[in-house]
Amino acid sequence: MKDPYEVLGVAENADDAEIKKAYRELARKYHPDNYQNNPLADLAEEKMKEINAAYEEINKRRANGQSGQSAYYDTRRPSSAGSAYYGGGTLQQIRRAIQAGSLTEAEALLNQYPERNAEWYFLRGVIRYQRGWMDDAKQDYQRACQMDPTNTEYRQALHYMEHGPAKTYSPYGSFGTDLCLTNLCANACLNPWAWCVCPVFCC
Amino acid sequence: MFGYVRPPLDGLPDDERDRFRRAYCGLCHTLSKRGAAAQWVLNYDFTLLAILLSDSEPATETRRCAVHPLRPRPCFASTDAMELAADESIILAYWQLRDHVDDNGPVKRQPFRAASGILRDAYRQAAAARPDFDRHTQAQLEILRGLERDNCPSLDAPADAFAVLLRDAARDVQPLTRRRVLEQILYHLGRWVYLIDAADDLRKDAVSGNYNPVALRYALSDGVWTDAARREFTLTLDHSIRGMTTAFELWDFGAWTPLLERIFYAGLFQVGRSVLDGTFHRRGAHVPQDTNDDESEAD
């Protein structure tokens, strides 16, 4: 195991508050929210595990064998196209292929699927997003939401495209070409529809 | 299409600015190995490519050059990564010039024809050293030309053709994790560069009638933004910057970290804002000044 102090980027004689601050900063950076459907989400998950393990180890050492603090960030990726299996055999296969990172296979299966339903557009959006086709992905999510407005997963995906993660990490505090847009999240909180889509994202 | 990477050097400590300048000068000297003409392709975009491909800070050596003939300057020594970046820069610049020759009429194409002729010898050397990259660059630009001919209304299809081309610059990087990180950064950098270039050319293309994916995607008239289109476009640009920053955080770039952080989290936003509000001006490559520089630009 790597030196836990090195992992958190703190000195061994740092006080508890400094360690907690360093841990929180790193957890904010590698939080699964920031890597939703990201092709590098597996690497972020590994980082998060390493940070959690380092924090736990430091707490254990300092507590002289007592159990460490338990308020760790969840390393699991948020539910994505790979984790909800429904909608028939082929669509299920497509989700599995996406989760395994086999985008070419997922795309081939999708093209063979006869029905162009909401799920089909959503999955095509996920594939496009992972390929970096952000604008086309957003249009697919919009189409999926229009065809099935009650589906929370589709609406979450569209909400992410329109607002990004709840708190995008930036060492400078702000993130965005048009900083006025960063206020959109606050506006969305006042919008009951956006609130019911995913209050966690906004607030 | 290049010239949109502007590291916000003013906000960096002196030693970070000097490190960037040494990389810039180091790339210039490495380019000169393919002939003096190759140095004309030097810009910040290609310096960023050289930095990304360098897995550690190269050794510093001191050299004189045509721009600084009086006082020798510290610059990074040529490394395999620097040579790879130099060759890829020459290949990309050459094919971009050839693209302009094909795109323009008999009069307007002449400067591009002349420039590509001057660069041809350097290109031949670079292409012989990197045949796969050269072949792939030509194939991607052919895809891009086809999409432009067809007036493709998607932002992502033509941007992807260019982004894949830039991503390919990291195809031989090891280990796998570093390659995955660099490929993601370069893909989204390529996508961002293509889109910001299209946004910058909006009015010019409206006058000339040239293909512009931004105008087609948002049905803009006379190259004028609508508020809704500008907002949508900004969001898609930011998703690509997010693609770069989330990848950047997954690899230790060592001494380059403060500079890269400044470029990805601040520089790209600044350029995006200035392109969208019409205050961006292309300018020629210039040498970033030494922090204790007492030699004038003219020497």
pLDDT one digit per residue (tens) for chain A, 203 residues: 788 999 999 998 888 899 999 999 999 999 998 898 899 999 999 999 999 999 999 988 888 654 445 556 666 655 555 444 444 588 889 999 998 889 999 999 999 999 999 999 999 999 999 999 999 999 999 999 999 999 999 999 999 999 888 778 898 888 899 866 544 444 443 444 444 333 333 32
**Does the ipTM surpass 0.90?**
no
Mutation target vs B (from A134, A174, A181; most B CBs, 10 A cutoff): A134
The per-residue pLDDT for range B228-276, each reduced to its tens digit, is 999 999 999 999 999 999 999 999 999 999 999 999 999 999 999 999 9
Question: Which among B188, B239, B265 has the least Cβ separation from residue A171?
Answer: B265
Six token digits for residue A148: 């099935």
CA distances from B291 to B45, B67, B294 (A): 21, 17, 9
> How many CB contacts within 8 angstroms connect chain A with chain B?
96
What pLDDT is recorded for position A111?
93
Whether pLDDT at B294 is above 70: no
Query: Across the interface, do B265 and A175 touch by the CB < 8 Å criterion?
Result: yes
Burial classification of residue B138, based on how many CB atoms lie within 10 Å of its CB (0-12 exposed, 13-18 middle, 19 or more buried): middle
Query: Across the interface, do B245 and A162 touch by the CB < 8 Å criterion?
Result: no
Confidence band for B3, pLDDT divided at 50, 70 and 90: confident
Residue B52 one-letter amino acid: L
Six token digits for residue B107: 């009069």
Distance from CA of A185 to the nearest CA of B (A): 13
Which residues of chain B make contact with A178, given a CB cutoff of 8 A? 230-231, 234, 273, 276
What pLDDT is recorded for position A202?
33
Six token digits for residue B102: 């094909």
What pLDDT is recorded for position A199?
35
Whether pLDDT at B284 is above 70: no
What pLDDT is recorded for position A188?
43
**Minimum CA–CA partner of A134 in chain B:** B236
Element housing B233 (H / E): helix B227-248
Query: Across the interface, do A178 and B249 touch by the CB < 8 Å criterion?
Result: no
Query: Across the interface, do B269 and A132 touch by the CB < 8 Å criterion?
Result: no
Whether pLDDT at B26 is above 90: yes
Cis peptide before B258 (omega within 30 of 0): no
Domains of chain B listed by start with CATH number: 9-277 (1.10.600.10)
Note the pTM of the prediction, 2 decimals.
0.86
Mutation target vs A (from B194, B235, B236, B280; most A CBs, 10 A cutoff): B235
CB atoms within 10 A of CB B202: 20
Angle at B21 between CA B17 and CA B24, to 5 degrees: 140
Distance from CA of A86 to the nearest CA of B (A): 28
3-state secondary structure chain A: CCCHHHHHCCCCCCCHHHHHHHHHHHHHHCCHHHHCCCCCHHHHHHHHHHHHHHHHHHHHHHCCCCCCCCCCCCCCCCCCCCCCCCCCHHHHHHHHHHHCCCHHHHHHHHHHCCCCCHHHHHHHHHHHHHHCCHHHHHHHHHHHHHHCCCCHHHHHHHHHHHHCCCCCCCCCCCCCCCHHHHHHHHHHHHCHHHHHHCHHHHC
Compute the distance between CA of residue B114 and CA of residue B97 in angstroms, rounded to an integer. 9
CA distances from B57 to A143, A191, B23 (A): 48, 50, 9
What pLDDT is recorded for position B73?
83
Compute the distance between CA of residue B235 and CA of residue B229 in angstroms, rounded to an integer. 10
What pLDDT is recorded for position B57?
81
Q: Which residue has the higher pLDDT, A182 or B165?
A: B165
What pLDDT is recorded for position A71?
59
What pLDDT is recorded for position B288?
55
Whether pLDDT at B50 is above 60: yes
Whether pLDDT at B38 is above 80: yes
Q: Which residue has the higher pLDDT, A147 or B3?
A: A147
What pLDDT is recorded for position A75?
60
Six token digits for residue A167: 């708190």
Compute the distance between CA of residue B4 and CA of residue B266 in angstroms, rounded to an integer. 13
Compute the distance between CA of residue B187 and CA of residue A131 in angstroms, rounded to an integer. 9
What pLDDT is recorded for position A105?
95
Query: Across the interface, do B261 and A171 touch by the CB < 8 Å criterion?
Result: yes
Query: Across the interface, do B273 and A178 touch by the CB < 8 Å criterion?
Result: yes
Q: Which residue has the higher pLDDT, A9 or B298?
A: A9
Residue B206 one-letter amino acid: A
CB atoms within 10 A of CB A183: 11
Residue B68 one-letter amino acid: H
Whether pLDDT at B296 is above 70: no
CA distances from A169 to A27, A165, B13, B103 (A): 10, 9, 22, 41
What pLDDT is recorded for position A200?
34
Element housing B76 (H / E): strand B73-76
Of B231, B247, B278, whose CA–CA distance to A179 is shortest? Answer: B231
Q: Which residue has the higher pLDDT, B178 or B96?
A: B178
Q: Fill in the DSSP letter of residue B62.
A: E
Q: Fill in the DSSP letter of residue B263.
A: I
Six token digits for residue B227: 């508020």
Q: By the 8 A CB rule, do B62 and B74 touch?
A: yes
Which residues of chain A make contact with B250, given a CB cutoff of 8 A? 40, 43-44, 47
Query: Across the interface, do B249 and A30 touch by the CB < 8 Å criterion?
Result: yes
Beta carbons within 8 Å of B127's beta carbon, 6+ residues apart: B91, B134
Most confident of A78-87, A130-139, B45-54, B285-294: A130-139
Q: Directed axis angle between helix B44-53 and helix B176-200, to 10°?
A: 170
Query: Across the interface, do B160 and A132 touch by the CB < 8 Å criterion?
Result: yes
Question: Which among B241, B250, B268 has the least Cβ separation from residue A47?
Answer: B250
Which residues of chain B make contact with A158, given a CB cutoff of 8 A? none
Burial classification of residue B221, based on how many CB atoms lie within 10 Å of its CB (0-12 exposed, 13-18 middle, 19 or more buried): exposed
What pLDDT is recorded for position B99?
85
HSE, CB side, 13 Å, CA atoms: give it for residue A190. Answer: 4
Whether pLDDT at B16 is above 70: yes
CA distances from A25 to A4, A10, A168, B111, B244 (A): 15, 12, 12, 52, 19
Compute the distance between CA of residue A189 and CA of residue B186 in angstroms, rounded to an integer. 34
